[in-house]
Amino acid sequence: MPASSTSTLSGKSVVIFGGTSGIGLAAATQASAAGARVIVIGSDKERAERAATENGLHGWRAADVTKSETIFAALEDLERVDHLVLLAGSFVAGRVMDADIDYLRRAFDERMWSAVHAIRALGDRLAEDASITLISGALADRPNAYGTAILASASAAMEALGRGLALELAPRRVNTISPGPIDTPILSKTLGDGRDAYVEGLKKNLPLHRLGTAAEAGAAVVFLMENGWMNGATLNVDGGSRLV
C-alpha cells in the first residue's frame, strides 16, 4: 500500500485571519484540538486576546486587513507558517448607483487585497508545502438584486484567485471555501432586530430546512488544511442552498 499523502496538523503552525469568531474561531479550535499551534488574527485586540485565551490557542494578533502595514506587522515575528487561512471580511452591501465607492471597495480590500498582502508578508516563511485557504461565499453562485453585486463579484474573484495561486505558488496548495447560510454573529450584526424573521423565512426555502453551523464550516476549513490532494478547488459548504 502506498503511503497516504494526507497531512496531519500535529505540530503545524496555523494562522487564521478572521479567527476570533464564527467560522474562523471554529476552525481554530478544531485545528488546535488536532495538535496545531494556532494563531488567530482579528480586527479587535481585546476580542482576539480573549478568543485565544479562552480557547487555549497558541497566540493572537490584531490587524486591520484593509491596511497592509498592519498585516505585515502581525506576521513579522513568525518564523514559519504551515497553513494560512484567510477568512476576514464584513458584509459589504450597497447599490452600485448610489452607495459610497470607498465603502464598496472594502469588499475587495478585505478579501482579495488582504490575501495578497498576507502572502507577500510571509514570503518564504510560508512553508514550501503550505496550504492557503481563502473564502468566497454563496453570492458567487447566486447574486441577488439587494445591493450585493460588488460583494458577489469579490466572492467570485476569490475563487478565481485561488485557482490562479494554486498554479503560481505551487507546490503550495490553495483552496477556497464557499459557505452558504451559516449561523454566525455576522447575521445578527447585519440584520439586527430582523434576524429571526429572516432566518425563519430562509429555512423554509433551504433543502435541509436549517442554517449551517460554524462548526460544520470550520470542519471544512480543517479538511482543506489536512487533505494534501485538495488543490485549486472551491468547496461549497452550503447545505445545497446554491441549488434552489
Q: List CB contacts of 175: < 8 A, sequence separation 6 or more.
A: 131, 132, 133, 134, 162, 166, 224, 230, 231, 232, 233, 234, 235
Tell me the pLDDT of the chain averaged across its residues: 94
pLDDT in tens, 64-103: 999 999 999 999 999 999 999 999 999 999 999 999 999 9
Q: Helices (DSSP H) in 124-148: which residue ranges?
A: none
Give the per-residue pLDDT at 38: 98
Q: Say which residue, 216 or 188, is predicted with more confidence.
A: 216
139-157 tens-digit pLDDT = 999 999 999 999 999 999 9
pLDDT tens figures, 37-50: 999 999 999 999 99
pTM passes above 0.85:
yes
Q: At residue 3, does pLDDT exceed 50?
A: no
Rounded Cα–Cα distance for residues 112 and 93 (Å): 17
Which amino acid, one-letter code, is at 170? A
Q: How far are the Cα atoms of 54, 121, 143, 147, 192 from residue 95, in angstroms, in the given order?
A: 39, 33, 13, 4, 20
> Beta strand 234-237 with 173-179: parallel, antiparallel or unpaired?
parallel
Nearest to 86 by CA among 153, 53, 131: 131
Domains of the chain as residue ranges with CATH: 13-184+212-237 (3.40.50.720)
Strands, E, within 49-179: which ranges? 59-62, 81-86, 126-135, 173-179
Predicted pLDDT of residue 7: 53
Helix (H) or strand (E) holding 69: helix 68-75
